[in-house]
Chain A
Amino acid sequence: MSSVAIGKEKGFGATFWDYLTTVDHKKLGNMYFFAGLLFFAIAGLEALMIRIQLMVPNNDFVSAGFYNELLTMHGTTMLFLAAMPLLFGFMNAIVPLQIGARDVAFPFLNSLGFWLFFLGAIFLHLSFFMGGAPDAGWTSYASLSLYSPGHGIDFYVLGLQISGAGTLISGINFIVTIVTMRAPGMTFMRMPLFTWTTLITSALIVFAFPALTVALFFMLADRMFGSNFFDHTMGGNTVIWEHLFWIFGHPEVYILILPAFGLFSEIIPVFARKRLFGYSSMVFATILIGFLGFMVWAHHMFTTGLGPTANAIFAVSTMAIAVPTGMKVFNWILTIWGGSIKVTVPMIYALGFIPSFVAGGVTGVMQAVAPLDYQLHDSYFIVAHFHYVIVGGIILAIFGAAHFYWPIMFNRALNEKLGFVVFWLFFIGFHMTFFIQHFLGLMGMPRRVFTYQADQGWDLFNFISSIGALLMGVGVILLVVNMFLSIKSKPLNTRDYWNDGRTLEWAIKTPVPFYNFKQTPLVRGYDPYWIEKSEGNKEGMTFAEPIGEIHMPNGSILPLVMSIGLFIASFGALYHPDGVSWSIPVIILGLGITVASMIVRSFKDDLGFHVSKEEVIATEESLYGKGGNK
């Protein structure tokens, strides 16, 4: 590992092995990104099938049962297996660079987190080929899912348990990274907003995911091992699932939206060419949203019957969240105000995001009014609301950031012209699909129905909505085409691709060497790269140390082996209720593999390796030619 392998072409086998064993945050970021993209495409196909089924009344494109599986897998996949890994991709790729670190705090755990997520996701998707996917909605309320026949729900429970463990590990990792590994001078109030939102998001993960773990474990035990948490005939209570799920589920929404806010807070100042307006209020708003996110879970349960007092409290706390969110929206607008605006693809996503997200937020405040929620509950109004927040917020952020950070992640640029085409297709398609669903909801169309009768006034609106979905589909296909085209394009080998970068990640020349910074940078203020540029510093940063030996972590195959062990054990648990004889041995075999690799990990010292000063200089010269990163 310590020899300089960069610049030499490696064979397919060696490259493949490298990706299986890597602990490099940049490679793991790319893996998260492409795994997320894969599941985004799968869930997008499911969405298209849903919209084709609802295009005309009394359609029989899919059966009622398969429709339930589609809507369940669409929601579950989009939230857990598409949006989260895509955002994790950016966090991995960008956050260590933004804070001037060589890697994350626990590179081994970073790799473990990825493989747990990926194998959990694969496990969940095997359900399509092994007797039916989960069909109780992404919320999988116990009253529906407890007696759902077949193994669909079991796949949901086990798959999410594994990938959830991976997410929790990554969350802990990012908190520790940001707390302990910031470059000298990078105080908390000089951290870029994306790093701040990553920190708060990770805190939300740490406090929210265990509730899901517990809920999933109860469901697993009830369905597979005969316990009685949710079975009312045995004294159980299905409302426990609703509480635990939403104690996790509502923060989950903020886990997704906060990094999206962070990404836009990076994009907007760069292209407005103006310092982010109200930085400290942005930080404060982020923390406040994270805190209030835990105080509102019962607004998903207004119609469960918790009583007027509980409903009133949760209604008020829900409305309170609009305040910090509003602060953020005004700060973005005031950053743009009076700026020297360059409308690039990332910027147009940001400009499209502000009104779209505000529309989603306002309908959210409407639903916070409990009496009105009784009207809107389980109607298409809800569907329209959360798609405005998720697509109009998170997905626009991911697409915009993909264009924005592509030069850093892949040393290539995405085509701007095609980028604009994709934006307009996607943006128009998005509003066409979901704006009209507000009215469908108000007209009484319930969500999660597989078909509807003609002549209730819903036909035309549903048809328009489906056409919009197809436009979005075309947009996404063109985006993927753009990504493939970029592989063919010329490597950039430059720094600060957009010319107006402000933070440390733009100060480093691409391709980023595996140790990131050859010397740890010294941060002299907020927007450090902007400061250095405005002082005419050609190197892009002030260094905190001379060139010297660099300590880097070793790669390892163990994270993959551990995850495969849990993957195998899940099959044993899955078939346990069928009474097959091999279920318990398979569970033991799988857990045995995991535990054995943990023991190997504990008993083998992993001290990492050192890159000598000469090797650092040689690497820099092989990447950037004579003189290195100048």
Chain B
Amino acid sequence: MDLNTKFTPKSWPDHAEQATLEGKNKFVGIWIFICSDIVLFASVFATYLSLKDSGPAGMDIKASELFGLELAFVMTMLLLTSSLTSVYAMYHMKNYNFKGVQLWMGITVLLGLGFLGLEIYEFYEYTVHEGFGFTHSAFSSAFYVLVGTHGLHVIIGLVWITGLIIRNAKRGLNLYNAPKYFASSIYWHFIDVIWVFIFTVVYLMGVLG
């Protein structure tokens, strides 16, 4: 593959992310990886549901009293919006507008950082002020591993997208990095979908008791 091929918005292929065999491989590969990640999260979700509210005899922390919807709502909005901004980035990629790609991917990262900050704040509150640490009970272990696994995925996604932005800052779009941007955005949507399930299963169902 020649990195020096110059494209114009006219000569840029319709599906740049799948224009080369390497790109097609990355495209199929990230979807297959997401399949396996779905099973990973399904296992953790199932464990969480079976261990919810269970702890040592006399445990007084219940999900319905612990969880609130305000913070979770803000986090949800931040992450859903970041998914939208990554769509904008892909829209600009289709039109061979590299500045647009970098800008909207950058905004995606900022929103993701906001989400991550709130999650860390939430964990800190639970651990320090509510006495609900990782080793507190089976419920706490399952909660932190479920939400924490998602948080780890967010961190990986942020490092990935930031890396792409920095690495390609000086050279613009080509058929080598277009599939990488595209795969990272699919991954980011996936993280978003998982969060919708966490919001439902942990927070909404938690508040209902």
Contacts and interface: CB of A to CB of B under 8 A. Distances in A.
Interface of A: 105-106, 168, 171-173, 175-176, 179-181, 206-211, 213-215, 217-218, 221-222, 225-229, 231, 233-237, 240, 243-244, 247, 599, 602-603, 605, 607-608
Given A176-B32, A180-B25, A237-B50, A210 B40 contact: yes
Contact of A234 (B37, B50, B138): B138
A213 B40 contact: yes
Interface string B31-60: 011011101100110110011001110010
B29 A176 contact: yes
B176 A235 contact: no
**Size bin of chain B's contact surface:** 35 or more
B140 to A, nearest CB: 8
B141 A210 contact: no
B21 A180 contact: yes
Nearest to B36: A206
Interface in B104-123: none
A225 B148 CA distance: 15
Given A207-B35, A243-B46, 11 more contacts: A105-B29, A168-B36, A176-B25, A210-B36, A210-B40, A210-B43, A214-B47, A225-B135, A226-B135, A229-B47, A244-B43
B39 A211 contact: yes
Contact of A602 (B21, B24, B59, B163): B163
Given A180-B28, A237-B50, A605 B40 contact: no
A347 B44 CA distance: 46
Determine chain B's interface SS by DSSP, over half rule.
helix
Contact of A605 (B3, B21, B25): B3
Contacts of A105: 25, 28-29
Contacts of A235: 51, 54-56, 59, 137-139
Contacts of B141: 221-222, 227-229, 236
Contact of B44 (A173, A179, A214, A605): A214
B204 interface: no
Nearest to B43: A214
A236 B50 CA distance: 9
B203 to A, nearest CB: 20
Contact of B39 (A175, A181, A207, A608): A207
A237 B46 CA distance: 12
Interface in B126-175: 134-135, 137-142, 144-145, 163, 167
Contact of A207 (B3, B36, B47, B134): B36
Given A210-B43, A602-B163, A229 B142 contact: yes
B1 interface: yes
B16 to A, nearest CB: 17
B168 to A, nearest CB: 10
A233 B176 CA distance: 54
Contact of A229 (B3, B51, B55, B176): B51
A321 to B, nearest CB: 20
A93 B163 CA distance: 35
A150 B3 CA distance: 55
A211 B138 contact: no
Contacts of B54: 235-237
A176 B35 CA distance: 13
A206 B35 contact: yes
Contact of B28 (A176, A222, A226): A176
A227 B135 contact: yes
Contacts of B1: 607-608
Contacts of B40: 210-211, 213-214
A231 B138 contact: yes
Contacts of A228: 55, 135, 137-138, 140-141
Given A105-B25, A210-B43, A602-B167, A229 B36 contact: no
Contacts of A218: 47, 145
Interface string B82-117: 000000000000000000000000000000000000
7 contacts: A180-B28, A181-B25, A211-B40, A214-B47, A227-B145, A229-B47, A229-B142
Contacts of A172: 29, 32-33, 36
Nearest to A228: B138
Given A221-B141, A235-B138, A180 B24 contact: yes
A215 B43 CA distance: 8
Nearest to A212: B43
A172 B27 CA distance: 12
Contact of A225 (B39, B134, B137, B138): B134
Contacts of A605: 3, 176
A247 B46 CA distance: 12
A280 B75 CA distance: 50
The 9 tightest CB contacts between A and B, nearest first, are A235-B138, A235-B54, A227-B141, A210-B40, A235-B55, A226-B135, A214-B43, A236-B138, A210-B39
B176 A240 contact: no
Contact of B176 (A171, A236, A607): A607
Contacts of B56: 233-235
A599 B39 contact: no
A607 B5 CA distance: 14
A161 to B, nearest CB: 13
A176 B22 CA distance: 11
Given A235-B138, A599-B163, A210 B37 contact: yes
Nearest to A168: B36
Given A206-B36, A210-B40, A603 B167 contact: yes
Nearest to B28: A176
By CB atoms of chain A within 10 A, which of B25, B43, B51, B135 has the most? B43
B32 A175 contact: yes
B3 A607 contact: yes
B54 to A, nearest CB: 4
Nearest to A607: B1
Nearest to A610: B1
B86 to A, nearest CB: 19
A215 B47 CA distance: 10
Contacts of A227: 134-135, 141, 144-145
Contacts of B55: 228, 234-235
Nearest to A105: B25
